[in-house]
Amino acid sequence: MSSRHSILALASLLLVAQAYAQTQPRDHNLTLTFTSFHQNVGTNISFSMRDRPIPSTGTCFNLTDVFGNSSHSQPYVTQNAEQFSPQNNYTTFFYKQLNETGLAVGKDAARVVKMWPYENCRSTDFSPWYGLSCQSEGSAYNMPAGIKSFSVVDRWYSNNEDEGHCWTLAEDGHSSAACTSFQGCFVAMMAAALAGVFLTM
């Protein structure tokens, strides 16, 4: 009888665990590291989030708030926040995001990330935003205009903006030429190379 009880207990525990997993989707940490340079010396500040952001509490993050204010309601942690200064120009960032289920580098990640040149997730015609939504083991990118805010949206709520091809570094959300197949990429690459040749002739 006790073993039957423990099986029941185990079964209900599994159900609870499953329900929890469904309400609290988890993935490997999303890590964003922002680097500012002063006399060629880089300073890194870092943001890590294991859960997906809770949409009701906002999906836009100002660097000033994330690194300058330790009290917040989103499930993330920071590193080196004491090194943050609103005067610094964060022009390089490092992006790492991997799925827990469906782990595949270069394929759809669980969250859609955007990097913005102004606070409150704003951009202009001259200073675009950049979208990243592919799984990556970690890559560094430059954003010369500097980063003032970023947004993180659960893929579930992202309106399929990147449908068909997740973003590697999509300026204003435009993916670079139709590189959905190797052939397409190769043709685009050759065309670009030839154009380069003609331009220099």
Residue ranges that bind ligand NAG, judged by CB under 6 A: 29, 33, 35, 42, 44, 48-50, 58, 60, 62, 65, 69, 71-72, 75-77, 89, 91, 94, 99, 102, 104, 107-110, 119-120, 140, 144-146, 155
From the list 84, 50, 52, 90, the residue with the least C-alpha distance to 69 is: 84
d(CA 174, CA 140): 19
Smallest gap, in angstroms, from Cβ of residue 146 to ligand NAG?
A: 4
Can you give 66-109 as a three-state secondary structure string?
HHHCCCCCCCEEEECHHHCCCCCCEEEEEEEECCCCCCCCCCEE
Q: Between 2 and 160, whose beta carbon lies closer to ligand NAG? A: 160
Question: How many whole angstroms from its chain centre is CA 104?
Answer: 15
d(CA 101, CA 146): 33
Q: State the residue number with the nearest CB to ligand NAG.
A: 102
Q: Between 143 and 170, whose beta carbon lies closer to ligand NAG? A: 143
Angle made by CA atoms 105, 182, 187, in degrees to the nearest 5: 140
Smallest gap, in angstroms, from Cβ of residue 130 to ligand NAG?
A: 15
Smallest gap, in angstroms, from Cβ of residue 1 to ligand NAG?
A: 41
Smallest gap, in angstroms, from Cβ of residue 99 to ligand NAG?
A: 4
Q: Between 29 and 85, whose beta carbon lies closer to ligand NAG? A: 29
Q: Between 85 and 187, whose beta carbon lies closer to ligand NAG? A: 85
Smallest gap, in angstroms, from Cβ of residue 57 to ligand NAG?
A: 9
Q: Between 79 and 187, whose beta carbon lies closer to ligand NAG? A: 79
Using CA atoms, how far residue 178 sits from 133, 143, 173, 186, 187, in Å, is: 17, 23, 14, 10, 10
Phi, psi at 28, each rounded to 5°: -65, 155
Smallest gap, in angstroms, from Cβ of residue 23 to ligand NAG?
A: 14
Assess contact for 123 and 51: CB atoms under 8 A: no
Q: Between 44 and 175, whose beta carbon lies closer to ligand NAG? A: 44
